[in-house]
Amino acid sequence: MVAKSCIRRLTLLVAVGAVLCAGLGIRIALIQIRDGETYRQRARDQQHRVVTIDPRRGRIFDRNRNALALSVEFDSFGIQDLDWAQFNTSEVGNLAVQLSQITGEGPQHIIDRISGTSDFRYLVRWASPETSERIRSLSTYPLFESYIRMEKEARRVYPYRAAAGQVLGFSVDGVGKAGFEMEHNQLLTGIDGYSVVQIDAQRRAYSWLDSYQKSAQNGADVVLTIDIAAQMVAEEILEETIAWHEALGGMVIMMDPGNGDILAMASAPDFDPNTPGRFPFEAQKIRPVVDIYEPGSTFKIVAATAALETGAFSLEDRIDTSGGRINLGTQTISDHEVFDELSVREVIEHSSNVGTVKMALALGERAFFKYTRAFGFGIKTGVALPGEARGILHKPANWSQSTLPTMAIGYGVSVTGVQLASAYCAVANGGVLLKPRIVKSVLKSDGSVASTPRTVVRRVMKEETAEALLGVFSGVVDRGTGTKAAVSGFKVAGKTGTAWKAREDGRGYTRNYRSSFVGMFPAENPEIVVLVMIDEPKKRGFYGGSVAAPVFNKIVRRLVHLPDGPVESAPESEDGLPLHLASIKPNAGSGRAPYLSDPGDTGAVRNDMLALGGPWEIERPAWSARPARPARPGAGDRLERAQIVLPSVIGMSIREAVKTLAEQGIEATIEGEGYVRRQIPAPGRMLYSGDRCLIECSPYN
C-alpha cells in the first residue's frame, strides 16, 4: 500500500511538473515569437536615446551681403533632476543671489525656476562668454555641478538693431514670429537631423551608433533686395521729420523702377527685433504693406495717365478751372491755388483738384476704373511679406454720383504704400507695372542659388505716355507744388499729395492730414522711386510740398554720396570729381575690416554685438567711456554736462561726419579713409558733450 501511494504522488508531481513545463514553454514561445519584437523595442528604448540635431537657421543678408539676421551660439545654463534632499534652503538661495548679481534678474524669479516641477529648468539663457565664465566661477557652483547642465544654444541676432526691423520680424527658439522671419519660416528653418546614443542605467551616454544617424539640413540663406545703408538713411531722416513736425508717424519706400526691387522700407515708430518684448505689438506691423490710406493728390497719376492714353486730352489742352471751385450736387471741391484756366500739364503741376475732376468726368467711369485697376490698385501686389492689404477700390456698379470726382483726387479709394510706389515705378520704367521684389536670391544648403526673376504684371501705358508724364512730374518739382524736392545738380520728377484723414468712428473726415510725396530720380532716366508719407504733421506745415517733399530731397542728397548705394548718378564739383570725393584729404587709418565683412564668422559677430551693446551688453568699450571730468571749485568732484542722442553718420563722407558730430559736441576718432561704414557707439545712444565716437571708414570705389 505504501509503495502504491508513493507511486501515485510521484506520478501526480510528474504530471503537474509536465503541465507547468509545457505552460512555461508555451509562454516562452509566445514571448519569443509573438511578442518578441515588442520586448526588443522596449529594450532598445531603455538602452538608447534619440538626440535631435537642430539645423542652422538660414541667414538673411541685404543686397550687398551684409548680414541682417543670423544665429549666434551662446552658453545656456539649466538645472536638471535636482535632489532637494541634499541641499538646504540657504544653499539654493545663495545660488540664486549670486546668479542675480551677474544677470540683474531678481533672486526670487531664479528660485521660482529652480523650484519648478519639470525635470529641466533654465537658469540663464544666452549668456555672453564673460557671463558664462562668471557663472562657472561661482562659489556655490561646485555644490550643484552634477545638476547644472551647460549647453550651446543659438539665438537670433539682428546686427543692425532697429534698421529694417519690421521687415525682418523676429524668431523665437527657431520659429519665425513676425515679418520676413515668419512669412518664410519654412525656408529658413531647414530639416531636423537625429543621432542615436547608447545609455547606461543612469541614462548617461557612452556610445554613439553611427548606423543610426541623419545629418540636419540647414535652412536656406536669403539675400534681400534691401540696401541696409539706404534703409538706415531713410529711417534716420524719417524720424527727424516726424520729430520736427510732431507727427504721429510715417513711412518711406524706396524702389528700383527697373526691376521692382524694394531698396528700403521704413516706417515709424520703429521696432528692434533683438528685444521684441520691449515694443507694443502694433510696432511689429510692416505699415507700407499692411496699412491702407486715402492717397490724396498722389493718386492723380491715374487721371493723368488715362487722359493721355485714351487720347481724350493732350498736355496742352486748356481746362476751365472755374476760379478754383466746382459744385457737384451738395458737394464743393476747391483748389488751394486759384486759376481761371490751366493746361493739362499745369493741372498736374499745380495739383488742381477742379481741373483733375473735370478730366475724370470727361473720361467716364469705365475708363477711369480701367486705368485704376491697371495700376494695381485694389489688388495685392504679391510682395513676399506677411499681412499685405489689397486696399479699397469699389467697382463702378457700386459708385455713387460723387465717387468718380472724389476718387480722381485721391478720396474714396484706399491704397497701400507699396501699391502707390509700384504705380510710379510704372511711369519711371516706361509704362510697365512690375511685381515688387523683396527676395533677390535664395542660397540653398546644397550650394545652389535660386534668383527671383523680374516679373512683369502688365503694361499700363505706352512708352510715349510714360515719357510725357515724366516731363509733367518734372514740372511739378521745377515750378509746381514740389519745388522743395529739387536736388541741386539733377532733374527730379514727382508728385505731392495732401489728404484729410477719414474718421475712424463714422463717415466724414477729420482736420488731420497725411502729407505725401512720390519722387523719381533722376528724371531723365529714373534709378529710384521714393515714396514719403507723414501721418498727422502738427507743427510747421501740413502740405505734402512743405512736409514730405523735403524728406525726398534729404534722402536723395544722402544717396548720391553713398558709395555702393542704389544711385549711380553723382553730381560733379568744379574740379570734376563727385561731390563726396572733392576736397577730402586722405586720413591715416588702421585699415580695419568693415563691420560684418564675414557674415559666416559668428564668433566675430558675437564680439561685435557685445561691443555695440544691447541685451547682451557686458560693459562699455574702453574707447567710448566718458573721460575724467575736471573738478570745479565748489561743485564737488563732478562737472555736469548735457546728455545728447548720438546721431547717425553712416554713409557720410569723413568731412561731413566729423562736422555732424562736432555740432553735437562729439569728438570723432577716425579709422580708415573714404566714407563712414560703421560708428561706435551705435546711433541713438546717449552720450555726453565731449565724448568720443569711433568712425570706421572704407574707401570709395
Per-residue pLDDT at 328: 84
Segment 308-331, tens digit of pLDDT: 999 999 999 999 998 899 988 778
Grid cell locating 619: 560693459
DSSP 415: B
Backbone angles phi, psi at 212, to 5 degrees: -120, 65
Residues 424 and 517: beta-carbon distance below 8 Å:
no
Q: Which of 128-132, 164-168, 421-425 has the lowest mean pLDDT?
A: 128-132
Residues 6+ apart with CB under 8 A from 324: 334, 335, 337, 338, 339, 352, 354
Q: Does 665 or 626 have the greater pLDDT score?
A: 665
Q: What is the mean pLDDT of residues 583-591?
A: 32
Q: Does 147 or 672 have the greater pLDDT score?
A: 672
Helix or strand run (H / E) with residue 245: helix 228-245
Per-residue pLDDT at 462: 97
Highest-confidence range of 20-29, 194-203, 349-358, 603-612, by mean pLDDT?
Answer: 349-358
Per-residue pLDDT at 118: 60
Greatest CA separation found in the chain?
A: 146
Helix or strand run (H / E) with residue 530: strand 528-535
Per-residue pLDDT at 612: 38
Q: Does 701 or 605 have the greater pLDDT score?
A: 701
Grid cell locating 616: 547682451
Segment 267-293, tens digit of pLDDT: 998 899 998 888 898 899 999 999 999
Distance of CA 660 to the CA centre of its chain: 27
Residues 6+ apart with CB under 8 A from 591: 671, 672
Grid cell locating 462: 505706352
Task: Tell me the C-alpha distance between 635 and 406, whole Å.
Answer: 66
Q: Does 53 or 236 have the greater pLDDT score?
A: 236
Segment 540-583, tens digit of pLDDT: 899 999 999 999 999 999 898 777 788 887 665 544 444 444 33
Instruction: Identify the CATH number of the domain defined by range 602-698.
Output: 3.30.10.20
Return the SS3 of 656. Answer: helix
Per-residue pLDDT at 85: 55
Helix or strand run (H / E) with residue 413: none
pLDDT at residue 107 greater than cutoff 70: yes
Class of the 228-559 domain?
alpha beta
Residues 6+ apart with CB under 8 A from 406: 331, 333, 412
Q: Identify any residues that bridge with 52 across adjacent strands, giving them in sequence order.
A: 194
Return the SS3 of 675. Answer: strand
Task: Tell me the C-alpha distance between 266 and 163, whole Å.
Answer: 8
Q: Which of 61-70, 234-243, 544-553, 608-617 has the lowest mean pLDDT?
A: 608-617
Half-sphere exposure of 360 (CA within 13 A, CB side): 29
The verdict on whether omega for the bond into residue 627 sits within 30 degrees of 0, i.e. cis, is: no
Q: Does 396 or 654 have the greater pLDDT score?
A: 396
Residues 254 and 230: beta-carbon distance below 8 Å:
yes
Q: What is the mean pLDDT of residues 429-451?
A: 93
Query: Where are the extended beta strands (E) located within 248-351?
Result: 249-255, 262-268, 318-320, 325-328, 331-334, 341-343
Q: Which of 305-309, 504-508, 536-540, 617-621 has the lowest mean pLDDT?
A: 617-621
DSSP 584: P
Per-residue pLDDT at 86: 59
- pTM of structure: 0.73
DSSP 430: T
Segment 207-243, tens digit of pLDDT: 555 556 677 788 999 999 999 999 999 999 999 999 9
Grade residue 305 by pLDDT with cuts at 50, 70 and 90. very high
Segment 488-513, tens digit of pLDDT: 889 999 999 999 998 887 778 888 99
Per-residue pLDDT at 681: 78
Per-residue pLDDT at 168: 96
Q: What is the mean pLDDT of residues 613-619?
A: 32
Residues 513 and 542: beta-carbon distance below 8 Å:
yes
Grade residue 2 by pLDDT with cuts at 50, 70 and 90. low
Cα angle, residue 27 at apex, residues 26 and 28 outer, rounded to 5°: 90
Q: What is the mean pLDDT of residues 676-686?
A: 80
Segment 39-48, tens digit of pLDDT: 777 766 666 6
pLDDT at residue 111 greater than cutoff 50: yes
Number of Cβ within a 10 Å radius of residue 404: 21
On average, the pLDDT of the chain sits at: 81
pLDDT at residue 55 greater than cutoff 90: no
Cα angle, residue 121 at apex, residues 120 and 126 outer, rounded to 5°: 115
Percent of the chain residues past pLDDT 90, beyond the cut: 47
Q: What is the mean pLDDT of residues 619-638?
A: 32
Phi-psi region of 166 (alpha: psi -120 to 50; beta: other; left: phi over 0): alpha
Grade residue 617 by pLDDT with cuts at 50, 70 and 90. very low
Percent of the chain residues past pLDDT 70, beyond the cut: 78
Per-residue pLDDT at 201: 60
Q: What is the mean pLDDT of residues 608-622?
A: 34
DSSP 248: S
Please state whether beta strands 667-671 and 692-698 pair in parallel, antiparallel, or not at all (unpaired). Answer: parallel
Helix or strand run (H / E) with residue 288: helix 287-290
CA neighbor of 419 nearest in space, from 379, 386, 446: 379
Grade residue 88 by pLDDT with cuts at 50, 70 and 90. low
Residues 566 and 230: beta-carbon distance below 8 Å:
yes
CA neighbor of 405 nearest in space, from 467, 326, 473, 497: 326
pLDDT at residue 435 greater than cutoff 80: yes
Grid cell locating 656: 561731413
Q: What is the mean pLDDT of residues 416-433?
A: 97
Q: Which of 83-92, 159-168, 198-207, 223-232 has the lowest mean pLDDT?
A: 198-207
pLDDT at residue 117 greater than cutoff 70: no
Per-residue pLDDT at 479: 94
| DSSP letters for 356-394 | HHHHHHHH-HHHHHHHHHHTTTTS----SSTT----B--
